[in-house]
Amino acid sequence: MTSLMSTLLLLQCVSTLVFTTISTPPDDPVKCVSGNSDCTVTNSYGAFPDRSTCRAAEVTYPTTEAELISIVAAATKTGRKMRVTTRYSHSITKLVCVDGTDGLFISTKFLNHTVRADADAMTLTVESGLTLRQLIAEAAKIGLALPYAPYWWGLTVGGMMGTGAHGSSLWGKGSAVHDHVTEIRMVSPGSVNDGFAKVRVLSETTTPNEFNAAKVSLGVLGVISQVTFTLQPMFKRSLRYAMKNDSDFGDQAVTFGKKHEFADFIWLPSQGKVVYRMDDRVPVNTSGNGLFDLLPFRSQLSAALAIIRSSEETQETFRDANGKCVGATLISSTLFASSYGLTNNGIIFTGYPVIGSQNRMMSSGSCLDSLKDGLITACPWDSRIKSEFFHQTTFSVPLTQVKSFIDDIKSLVKIERKSLCGLELYYGILMRYVTSSPAYLGKETEALDFDLTYYRAKDPLTPRLYEDFIEEIEQIALFKYNALPHWGKNRNLAFDGVIKKYKNAPAFLKVKESFDPTGLFSTEWTDQILGIKGNVTIVKDGCALEGLCICSEDAHCAPTKRYLCRPGKVYKEARVCTRVSGISVIQSVSY
């Protein structure tokens, strides 16, 4: 089994290297029975955290702000619920869902134009459906650059604003995209006198309160129509990766971001290793034409993806931790040896440092490039094929608490070194720096963002190998260290009581009440996470297996498969689903 898995993982890496420019483009996330009526929406992974189906009576595709105003006005006049959808729908959480079946999806798919480019003022105004890839390219046309952004360029401007998406940096205004915005045009419900829709022009100078609410809005204030970015003169970056032992990682993680502007880490805790990203700004006239085309974001052979997924399912069934660890070591060493997709000239990697222009180094996602090949190749997570299917748990731990948090994870690894190999099959724990933001729902302090990606079963009642270790890490971060969850990437339990962690939440809710007093852009889910009504956790048999709840009794786990609710191993306040040997269901207990 182990040698087979190694061969298959190598095949995956090779196919990723070869199939770099051809891929079936992702499907539209909105599907309708008849024309634009009787519709459903999903995310790019094919499943929300609670696996619900999100429906609406209709979808609209405005192409101009005037059309958008007309759509919002018509829905407001009839009291119709609305939510915004995007071209690729990359949020795992239920941000696109509307309540019931009579609502309206407003897609920004065709609101994807540049409105105004001003090289002298170093600003760029774009529509909210423009992708990050397009934004980077449009800025480069006038010799400018967005300094920080997420690494995946298949996000839209509106989507990044709605979820607080970010790159990695403690420098300047920080790595959050929304903190490099100077003006937002938003269409919200209006009164009769407004014609039932109101265009609000928000800026940091004229309307700072409303502006700071709209910078991270979760889509509950209205539809963002246009965004104006403040940019910087084009510059180059010099990047090198180094793999080191993680013995002093706790100390390094606290200080490393002050030494390198674009620093990040890939932590491989079961291997006791960390990949350090030493990434700095250099003058634009520095020699080098490097390109970062991240390997995990390239198209891959669908057949290879299916075999890899089947192998991981087999490992889960037979509890083959050794196989996972061998595979994790192979894939991490292969990625490191291939410089994660960096090339010195856009073709081959000849050595570090790799120097290239910001627009060629900051983000990637070549699996979006559209040659329709009948799904012979696809993005690795494309839900139309048997592909990657995973949970993501992403949170920001205050920098002052990072060393202690890392030490807690190391303590778990000491208990069982194989326990986190599953994370390393998904490239390891990605760690990015973020700073405090004036946005009311933005980051509260300097922090390190931990991104954990791990296996998700197709059957929601199937427990995972060593799931108790990852559940404990999740609870340590959220409850011991008061970490802030990423709005677009987590399981339900991460949002339980989350609004209490934001000191400016009352100010945000006041703006929400002003912009949309009848809650036409709100849903049951947004009301839950904003603390308005109800609780985001769902308590039922098996609920803890998918993070819908924290277990308080064995039934919340999988007692028939010997997964019972137990205290954490390091953080005793945690309650996790642990596989217990020699205990019958009758002997199980509640907490």
| For range 505-517, the mean pLDDT | 99
pLDDT greater than 80 at residue 18:
no
pLDDT greater than 70 at residue 507:
yes
In three-state secondary structure terms, 488 is: coil
| For range 420-437, the mean pLDDT | 98
| pLDDT score for 206 | 98
| For range 299-328, the mean pLDDT | 97
Establish if 77 belongs to a structural domain.
no
| For range 157-161, the mean pLDDT | 98
- Give me the number of domains the chain comprises: 3
Residues 509 and 562 both lie in one domain: no
> Binning pLDDT at 50, 70 and 90, where does residue 506 land?
very high
For 214-243, how does the pLDDT look when each residue is reduced to its tens digit (9 = 90+)?
999 999 999 999 999 999 999 999 999 999
Establish if 44 belongs to a structural domain.
no
Residues 269 and 391 both lie in one domain: yes
In three-state secondary structure terms, 557 is: coil
| pLDDT score for 372 | 79
Residues 366 and 281 both lie in one domain: yes
| For range 549-555, the mean pLDDT | 99
Residues 157 and 202 both lie in one domain: yes
| pLDDT score for 25 | 80
For 195-213, how does the pLDDT look when each residue is reduced to its tens digit (9 = 90+)?
999 999 999 999 999 999 9
**Cβ 421 vs Cβ 324: under 8 Å:** yes
| For range 442-463, the mean pLDDT | 98
pLDDT greater than 90 at residue 79:
yes
**Cβ 449 vs Cβ 174: under 8 Å:** no
Tell me the CA distances in angstroms from 507 to 493, 499, 548, one per residue in order. Answer: 24, 12, 29
pTM of the model: 0.95
> Binning pLDDT at 50, 70 and 90, where does residue 181 land?
very high
Residues 335 and 435 both lie in one domain: yes
**Percent of the chain scoring above 90 in pLDDT:** 92
| pLDDT score for 19 | 46
Establish if 371 belongs to a structural domain.
yes
Residues 284 and 392 both lie in one domain: yes
**Sheet order of strands, 82-85 included:** 30-34, 37-41, 54-60, 104-107, 82-85
> Binning pLDDT at 50, 70 and 90, where does residue 369 land?
confident
> Binning pLDDT at 50, 70 and 90, where does residue 525 land?
very high
| pLDDT score for 587 | 44
Q: In a 10 Å sphere around its CB, with 0-12 CB exposed, 13-18 middle and 19+ buried, how is residue 456 labelled?
A: buried
Cβ neighbors of 35 (< 8 A, separation 6 or more) are: none
Q: What is the mean pLDDT of the chain?
A: 95
Residues 351 and 467 both lie in one domain: no
Domain CATH code at residue 212: 3.30.465.10
Tell me the CA distances in angstroms from 258 to 241, 254, 279, 446, one per residue in order. Answer: 17, 8, 12, 11
Residues 432 and 516 both lie in one domain: no
pLDDT greater than 80 at residue 9:
no
Quote the CA–CA distance of 70 and 584 in Å, as a whole number: 62
Establish if 34 belongs to a structural domain.
no
Domain boundary among 485, 513, 529: 529
| pLDDT score for 84 | 99
pLDDT greater than 60 at residue 17:
no
Range(s) of the domain holding residue 390: 9-22+235-456
Residues 297 and 436 both lie in one domain: yes
Residues 387 and 515 both lie in one domain: no
| pLDDT score for 24 | 73
Q: In a 10 Å sphere around its CB, with 0-12 CB exposed, 13-18 middle and 19+ buried, how is residue 74 labelled?
A: middle
| pLDDT score for 14 | 52
| pLDDT score for 16 | 52
> Binning pLDDT at 50, 70 and 90, where does residue 374 land?
confident
> Binning pLDDT at 50, 70 and 90, where does residue 80 land?
very high
